Amino acid sequence: MSSRAFPPDFLWGTSTSAHQVEGGNDNNDWSEWEEIPGRIHDGTRAGRACAWWEGMAEEDLAVAARLGQNAHRLGLEWSRLEPEEGRFDDAAFARYARILDRMRELGLRAMVTLNHCTLPRWVAHAGGWECSAAVTWFARFARKCLEALGTRVQLWVTLNEPAAVAGAGYAMDEWPPGRGNLFAGLRALSTMLRAHAAAYRTMKDIDPRCTVGIVVNAPLLEADRAQAADRIVARLQDWSFMGAVIYALETGLLLPPLRAVPKRVPFLRRSFDFLGLNYYGRYAVRFDAREQHRLFGRHVQSPTVRGAVVDWGQVSPSGLTRQLLRYARLRVPLYVTENGIANGADTVRNGFVRDHVAAVHEAIQQGADVRGYFHWSLVDNFEWSEGWAPRFGLLSLDVATQKRELRPSADAYAAICRANALGP
């Protein structure tokens, strides 16, 4: 098989999020959640995380550059930058500026996420994403970030996986605030879409040339059997997880069940210059009347990558090709913003990365405008309700000592990045 080359200027990188790697984030909703017994299933806390705020960010990013990567996706922690309503912390902005400046020195282009699953305590205590004022607050935050850091950032992401956040924290109770109410989940998702639109328009008003997108979770959801009930619940799950969000972004309309009656949201239509897809695997869906919180669909795929409570799905590179081709119709650049596997022993990551990079190449060959691939993750990090048990990093981490070691798969990914091609 000959080498499969990627387009010039293709972005090769890794992804991180603020709370999962920075450490010392004690003013957001997740820091409160971690204090509740049983909420983190391995009994751990983020704590120092990967000590990025202490200075390890620059060291880890230097390793990424040495591995041939030319980009990195990182997040900003809202609770650091606006610890109290209307009060912004200049020192925190300065710390992010130093990280971004170092990335530029290393030749790493920056994709920066404004909100990756966490909220400041003051937002959470006001109702979180169920509070309508969060739309205004988030737009103000976006304005401040663009004004302070805009010259250092090539690509902005407003929200990471809004449907997943609304589902896990509001429709269910696995994430904060643990509402466990379907209608709360719908309200939260509606608010997040309005907040995205407000932030997008705010940023474009300040700098029409800035590039702003949104990231969605894009698993492949398919009926397990040919039965009509399985097909219906698979489509319902697909609609609630992705379809409703994409439709709203395309049309500017929030449809039932996101609202009792359809409503057009100002600035929501086509409010994305690019779309990021987080893809981990495929889910086989079977009708189950007991699974009300999952729209009556049970996931039965086997084998599957599973943690204590999170199932990342069945490894399916062809599913990534299908999802990229599916969203190519939106006529905007696409990025694979997360793709990885929890495999601390590093026995399967090599093949996983090669197969999924090949899937991206196949999508490009079939006409999808894919501009970059970001592996999850650069370094082992705190995996939300799963704690420290899942290991996704190209760099392994000893949490107690903060010692890092390169996993063999890091070199395999580096060969792809340096060549801008998948070798035979």
79, containing H or E segment: helix 78-81
Token code pair at residue 219: 């698993």
DSSP state of 255: P
Residue 21's pLDDT band, with cuts at 50, 70 and 90, is very high
**1 has pLDDT over 70:** no
Q: Are 97 and 149 in contact (CB under 8 A)?
A: yes
* DSSP line for 87-107: B--HHHHHHHHHHHHHHHHHT
Bigger pLDDT: 296 or 189?
A: 189
What is the per-residue pLDDT across 51-71, written as a single tens digit (0 to 9) for each? 999 999 999 999 999 999 999
Q: What is the mean pLDDT of residues 393-402?
A: 98
Q: Which of 68, 88, 69, 65 is nearest to 78 (CA)?
A: 88
Q: Are strands 109-115 and 155-160 parallel, antiparallel or unpaired?
A: parallel
Residue 259's pLDDT band, with cuts at 50, 70 and 90, is confident
pLDDT, position 193: 97
Q: What is the mean pLDDT of residues 324-346?
A: 98
pLDDT, position 240: 83
Cis peptide before 408 (omega within 30 of 0): no
Q: What does the alpha-carbon distance between residue 383 and residue 390 come to, in Å, rounded to a whole number?
A: 7
All structural domains of the chain with their residue ranges: 4-422
Q: What is the mean pLDDT of residues 252-275?
A: 89
pLDDT, position 308: 80
**405 has pLDDT over 70:** yes
**297 has pLDDT over 90:** no
What is the per-residue pLDDT across 66-104, written as a single tens digit (0 to 9) for each? 999 999 999 999 999 999 999 999 999 999 999 999 999
- Dihedral pair phi/psi, residue 186, rounded to 5°: -65, -40
CATH 3.20.20.80, applies to 4-422: yes
pLDDT, position 222: 93
Average pLDDT, the chain: 95
**300 has pLDDT over 80:** yes
pLDDT, position 290: 85
Amino acid, single-letter form, for residue 63: V
Q: What is the mean pLDDT of residues 409-413?
A: 98
Residue 418's pLDDT band, with cuts at 50, 70 and 90, is very high
pLDDT, position 52: 98
Share of residues in the chain with pLDDT > 70 (%): 100
pLDDT, position 225: 86
